[in-house]
Each structure stands twice: as C-alpha cells, then as structure tokens.
Amino acid sequence: MSTDTPDLQAHGDLAPHGESDSQHDSGASGHEEHHGLTDMQYVGIFVFLAVVTGAEVVLSYWQPGGFFLPLLLSMMVVKFFVVVLFFMHLRFDNRLFAVLFYLGLSLAVFVYTVALFTFHFFSGS
Amino acid sequence: MSEDSVREDKTSGNGAPDLGNEPPKGSGTSTIDQIPMGGLPGPGPSGPVEGSEHGDTLTDLPGSDAAEHPPLASTTALSNNKMGMWLFLGSECLLFGGLISTYMLYRGRHSGDLGPDQIYDIPFTSVSSFVLLMSSLTMVLAVSAANRKDERNTKLWLVTTALLGATFVGGQAYEFTSFYREGLGFTTSLFSSSFFTLTGFHGVHVTVGIIMLLAVTMMLRSDRVPGRRAEVVELVGLYWHFVDIVWIVIFTLVYLIPA
C-alpha cells in the first residue's frame, strides 16, 4: 500500500478534524466539512425549540380564532426544519443529501395531500 | 478490470501502467492476482484502503495513474453509508406520511366519549415531547464530541440519549395503558386503530434507535466500530433526529389540533 494514502480505517479516528483526516475528508469524501456550530449554539437551538414547543402548547389551550391553525402549523414547520438543518447538519452537508431527503419528503406531502383531497378531507364533507 | 485487459495494457504502451518494467514490491509476486474482487481500493469512509495484507496492488505501483490519483470508492465522492441513510430517511417520510394521513382521515370516527378531545392528556404528552427534544440535543452533542475525538463524552451523551429515549417510550407505554383502561383498545374504533398504529410505529422506531445507540456505545467501548467512528455516530444521530422530527409533526397534528 502506498504510504501517501491516508488510511482512516486503520487509524480508527473518531473525527476528520485531525490534519491529515481533514485533508482526506474534504477532498475524498466531501461530506465531513466542519459543521461550524459549537455545543453552546446547539444548546441555544434546543432552547429555541423548547420555547416554540411551549408556545404551541399554550396556543392549543388558547386557540386564538382563525389564526390558530396556521400559527400552529407554522411553528411545527419551523421546528421541523430547524432540526433538519442544524441538528441533522443538512445546512452544512452536501447538497445531494438534501436532494435525497427533500425528494422523499416532497413526494410524501404531494401523494398524501392528493389522497386527503380525494377523500374530501379538506372540504369537511 | 479483467485479466486480459491488464495483459493488453502491459504490452500496448498506450499510457497505461507499465507493470512489466516495475519490480514487484512486498511479497514479490505478480500484482494482477492481488486486485481485490470489488475493484481497485480507494479512500473514503465507505471504501477503506485495503489490499496491503496480501501484497501490493496496482494502485501502489510508482508512476501509475492510480498511484498518483487513487480512485474514489464512490462515483459521487460522498460516503455511501450516509447517502444510504438519507435515502432511507426520505423513504421513511412516505411511511409516516401514510400513517399520519390515515389518522387524519379517521380521527373523527369514534364513539362519543372516547375521542381525541376527551382522551388525550396534553400536559403529559408535552413533557414526553420535551424529553424527546432534549434527547435530540444530547445526540447532537454526542456527534459533536465524536468529531472532536472525545470518546468519553461521546459515550456519555450516547447513553444519555438512550436513557431519554427510554423515558419517552416508557411514557408512551403508560399512555397506551391508561387509554386501554379507559376502554380505548386497538379495535375499538377507526380512530383508535389509526392512533395506536401511528404512535406505535413511532415508538418502535424510537426503540430501534435506543438499540442502535446502545450497540454503538458498546462497540465504542470494545473498539470494534466498523468504519470511521465519527461517521457511525453521525449515522445513528441522523436516524435519531428523524425520529424526533416525526414526533414534532405527530405532536402538532395528532395531539394539539382538536378533532
């Protein structure tokens, strides 16, 4: 084996953050970029998610008229994408991973929205 | 690459590696027989550099294109494992989309006093949601520790995540039991069937996630992790966060929106 080739498998390293590993990962695998967030930022995101969840619960008891459903659904979507983008690192990762995931998600939303329309779910009849 | 084509390259002099002029290294045997069955080895998380156990391969020969530019394990230069996980999670959206849609259709099909508005315990489920959300934080801290090569904290956060997940599953079991005692069985109504199927499927996913977390922790302890450790922890983390985002949707659509 060539000695020029970094052998991550043999090193058994935890992360690509070592010098040689970083070079290898950015060049060869292309998916292990430094994700840019610190532990404290993750805690901050968690606090945000917890606050939004609390607001959702309060809203479900309060139910402010016509705003209730759109507001609740908006909060759900915000929480969903905050977790996907930051906790799952999709914002920092290769775009192909995002395409694979959003393809499945979009297909699911489309198929089941059509299914619910077919069963007159939104018309209430 | 077939054996014939290699032989042809040896004699043609068309820019291909000139195997005949180079003295064999390592064991001193011909390199043609040592090409791995799966093709030439390459770097990357999903394609470990192999082939040194039984002698050198074509890529090791000085002056060859392969030696200067090692082939990639994947045509996309991305981790196959990670791509597979994202593809799996994308397909899981369809599974849970179907279950959530079915619940939405049937949530009004129940007897008068055993409907969603009468039976759900929102404060209890809110606490469960908070626990699962907190497990997402501990999971991302485990991935962060793994990226820092901090093995001690990686294991600590993985076990914490598993414990929080177990707390969530325990809460779900308690909720199911209390519903059953109130008279809401799996076959009581279309509402109950769709509710238990949806939340039960999610609970099974959480349970599988707990098993994965504990398995990775054990493998880290015994130093038997296949592939790069940070990537293995990240893959489990992706699955765990997916379970969390599914619950985010279930919590709002099933519990918070009145029927």
The DSSP H or E segment spanning A77 is helix A68-82
With bands split at pLDDT 50, 70 and 90, how would you rate the model's confidence at B22? very low
The DSSP H or E segment spanning A109 is helix A95-118
DSSP B49-110: ----SSS--GGGSTT-HHHHSPPPSSTTSS-HHHHHHHHHHHHHHHHHHHHHHHHHHHTT-S
Of B50, B94, B223, the CB nearest to A108: B94
CA B204, B205, B206: angle at the middle one, nearest 5? 90
Write the CB contacts of B92 (distance below 8 Å, at least 6 apart in sequence).
Answer: A104, B242, B246
User: CA B135 to CA B244: how far, in whole Å?
Assistant: 9
Contact B78 A108 (CB under 8 A): no
Q: How far is CA B3 from the centre of its chain?
A: 38
pLDDT for the residue numbered B123: 94
Contact B126 A29 (CB under 8 A): no
DSSP B187-229: TS-HHHHHHHHHHHHHHHHHHHHHHHHHHHHHHHHTT--SS-H
Whether B78 and A94 have beta carbons less than 8 Å apart is answered as: yes
Contact A115 B101 (CB under 8 A): yes
- pTM for this prediction: 0.73
Q: Is A47 an 8 Å CB contact of chain B?
A: no
- In angstroms, what separates the C-alpha of B203 from chain A's closest C-alpha? 19
Most confident by average pLDDT, A98-112, B20-34, B50-64, B100-114: A98-112
Per cent of chain A over pLDDT 90 is 53
Contact B79 A72 (CB under 8 A): no
Check pLDDT > 50 for residue B25. no
Whether B157 and B145 have beta carbons less than 8 Å apart is answered as: yes
Give the tokens for residue B135: 């497990």
DSSP state of A25: I
Question: Chain A: residue nearest B67 by CA?
Answer: A2
pLDDT in tens, B194-223: 999 999 999 999 999 999 999 999 999 998
Check pLDDT > 70 for residue A110. yes
pLDDT for the residue numbered B109: 87
Of A14, A54, A87, the CB nearest to B149: A14
DSSP state of A29: I
Angle between helices B122-147 and A39-62 (to 10 degrees): 170
- In angstroms, what separates the C-alpha of B239 from chain A's closest C-alpha? 9
pLDDT in tens, A17-73: 333 343 344 333 444 445 568 999 999 999 999 999 999 999 998 888 888 899 999
pLDDT for the residue numbered B38: 38
